[in-house]
Structure 1
């Protein structure tokens, strides 16, 4: 994922409290989103649309603060432990995650499959709690990993609780790249899944993110009745028939959602 495209001049002009230098520093950290390796200073400058000299000063400052480190070969930079400290603080101070943790553990014991909690962030669902199964690869188990809202069970469940005009806006602005041969990219087909989720109280997705995977999602509503997160349970189609998976998992997900929302 490319780093956010922020118009700093427009932000500064429209908001007297906006700190442009701080925003550029955060832009440097965001440059690492979606990359597979360390970034050179030139690459950081290019990905953030800032000058090399400005990138050098920002990277130096972030290194001194413990948020970036130089690789052993001296050819690039990577996020350092300071980022993990911030992640830990976010997770422990998030009231939803604090409430959800015991319920998710109980759900994982009951279903014996992968259980995730993702936070709704517009076009993406951001994994904030992950309880993996034996089949998962390393990157797919990490907190902070994101998946598109438009093609996931949790995303469909979340959109089922949004008014139609907001669903239309999300789909109109979605980058509908197919992740598997079965990923739905036709807005009409996606709306059918959302309608089914409204009727059933959950969404069932087949091979939308990974081939061979069946996933069931249920939305978690906030205090104002708007969706803020979703629970996903994922299994293998080599072990489950889709309707059997639904019958087994849907009541447990619904119970877990009620437990979290009632706290």
Structure 2
């Protein structure tokens, strides 16, 4: 489930809140981080629904095209109409509309991977991924998310927030390591945020992927709060960290100015 948990019992006091719709969305959300088709029993378990309620919702979502039966008939998968919604979200998002030409120019200049991730509390969600010459599969996927507390983009975004709000996010964050070098100690994470606040950018070494160096700057809204971050990622086999910072920070800062100006 997301931060905005649709099964939150507090929603019961909201007369406008549609529980049936929320349960249907919870079925779609149950596929998050699944690595294979989900059985009806697994969907019921992940959503907290009864088996009969899950069965009715799965049937309805299949009829509408949002779910499909796996080839072997042993589970269910999300279906193509989900991508239609994803496309519409990306197409209509004002930050992405402004950023797209700027990111293409940044990718041309740096010749390394360029990403834009959107700030969503305890996670950063990748919305644009412009690839370089070497990639892992997960690094090509729009919609992939990483912990805000354990990524260059997250540190850069958190640097725009007051300390009290940072503490609240750290209290909610799972603080799970993605690599052996991922920072999970709150004080160490706070130190990285403080450095990003001082420098105007965050530099991360092997936080999301071993062998990777990444630099990020936050995209602020009109009130100075983070809406996302732009990051450039390279290989430690090709770059010393400080050389990477010196080379990438100026064009990255120019890109952020371009996004804000547009």
TM-score calculated relative to the size of structure 2: 0.97
Q: Partner of 1:197 in structure 2?
A: 196
2:180 aligned residue: 181
> How far did 1:6 drift?
3.9
Secondary structure (helix, strand or coil) at the match of 1:33 reads coil
* 8 Å contact from structure 2 (residues 119, 157) kept in 1: yes
**Are the structure 2 counterparts of residues 4 and 258 from structure 1 closer, same or farther at C-alpha, using a change threshold of 3 Å?**
closer
Once residues 190 and 2 of structure 1 are traced to their aligned partners in structure 2, the CA distance between those partners, rounded to angstroms, is 23
Partner of 2:144: 145
Q: Offset of 1:9 from its aligned partner?
A: 4.3
Over 3 Å counting, the alpha-carbon distance change for 1:8 and 1:147 in structure 2 is closer
1:88 corresponding residue in structure 2: 87
> What is residue 221 of structure 1 aligned with on the other side?
220
Unaligned runs of 5+ in 2: none
Verify the 8 A CA contact 1:8 1:20 in the aligned structure 2: no
Query: Following TM superposition, by how much is the alpha carbon of 1:261 offset from its aligned partner in structure 2, in angstroms?
Result: 0.7
CA change 1:3–1:192 in 2 (3 A) is closer
TM-score by structure 1 length? Answer: 0.96
Is 1:167–2:157 an aligned residue pair?
no
Q: CA deviation at 1:10?
A: 3.1
Structure 1 vs Structure 2 CA RMSD: 1.4
What does 1:1-263 correspond to in 2, within 5 Å? 5-7=5-7, 9-12=9-12, 14-263=13-262
Structure 1 residues 186, 3: CA separation in 2 closer, same or farther (over 3 Å shift)? Answer: closer
Change (3 A) 1:198 1:4: closer
CA distance in 2, matches of 1:3, 1:96: 21
- Is the 1:3–1:48 Cα contact (8 Å) retained in structure 2? no
Other structure's SS at 1:34 match: coil
Note if contact 1:3-1:33 (Cα within 8 Å) is conserved in structure 2: no
| Further displaced range: 57-66 or 22-31 | 57-66
- In 1, the alpha carbon distance for the partners of 2:219 and 2:3 equals 28
Indicate the SS of the match to 1:230. Answer: strand
Flag the 1:210–1:9 CA change in 2: closer, same or farther, 3 A. Answer: closer
Change (3 A) 1:10 1:187: closer
- How many Å separate the matches in 2 of 1:181 and 1:225? 33
Using the alignment, how far apart are the partners of 1:74 and 1:173 within structure 2?
A: 38
**Displacement after TM superposition at 1:62 (Å):** 0.5
Report if the CA contact (8 A) 1:3-1:30 is conserved.
Answer: no
Counterpart CA distance in 2 for 1:4 and 1:224 is 23
Distance 2:195 2:103 in 1: 24
Unaligned runs of 5+ in 1: none
After superposition, the C-alpha distances for 1:121-149 in whole angstroms (9 at most, x for unaligned) are 00000000001122212222100000000
Query: Helix, strand or coil for the counterpart of 2:253?
Result: helix
Q: How many residues align?
A: 262
1:2: Cα distance to partner? 8.2
Question: What displacement does 1:5 show?
Answer: 4.9
Q: Secondary structure at the match of 1:37?
A: coil
